[in-house]
């Protein structure tokens, strides 16, 4: 689908998510504990998606491919090798921010 107000129900029901490597899409999927295959758009300039995908792949959290290797990736994937993505710790950021602005 081209646009949907929320993917929450689709993510909840998914056994595998195949997505571009946008930060929001990746983090929302990983926070739900779903296996994720990210497909890199190699035509983007200054490709921040590539950087994020590589980092998540190095950490063992996602499968990473491009359009031409997607089928091969899906055929050879072993989802048991993926590591859970650690939950965020917003309280640590809040403490850091408090220090920076002088609230502590």
pTM of this structure: 0.80
Q: Which residues pair with 20 in a beta bridge?
A: none
In this prediction, residue 104 carries a pLDDT of 64
Cβ atoms of 27 and 11 within 8 Å: the answer is no
Number of helices (H) and strands (E) in the chain: give both, helices first. 5, 3
Nearby residues of 73 by Cβ (< 8 Å), 6 or more positions away:
37, 63, 64, 65
Q: Is 19 helix (H, G, I), strand (E, B) or coil?
A: strand
* Other residues' Cβ atoms within 10 Å of the Cβ of residue 31: 12
User: pLDDT per residue over 90-102, tens digit each?
Assistant: 888 888 888 888 8
Tell me the domain boundaries of the chain: 7-101
CATH number of 7-101: 3.40.50.2000
Segments of the chain with pLDDT less than 70: 45, 104
């Amino acid at each position: 689908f081209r646009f949907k107000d929320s993917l929450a129900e689709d993510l909840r029901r998914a056994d595998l998510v195949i997505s571009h490597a946008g930060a929001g899409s990746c983090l929302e999927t990983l926070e739900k504990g779903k296996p994720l295959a990210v497909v890199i758009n190699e035509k983007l300039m200054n490709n921040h998606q590539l950087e994020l995908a590589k980092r998540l792949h190095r950490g063992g959290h996602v499968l990473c491919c491009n359009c031409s290797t997607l089928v091969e990736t899906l055929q050879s994937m072993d989802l048991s090798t993926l590591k859970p993505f650690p939950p965020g710790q917003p309280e640590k950021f809040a403490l850091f921010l408090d220090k920076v602005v002088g609230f502590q």
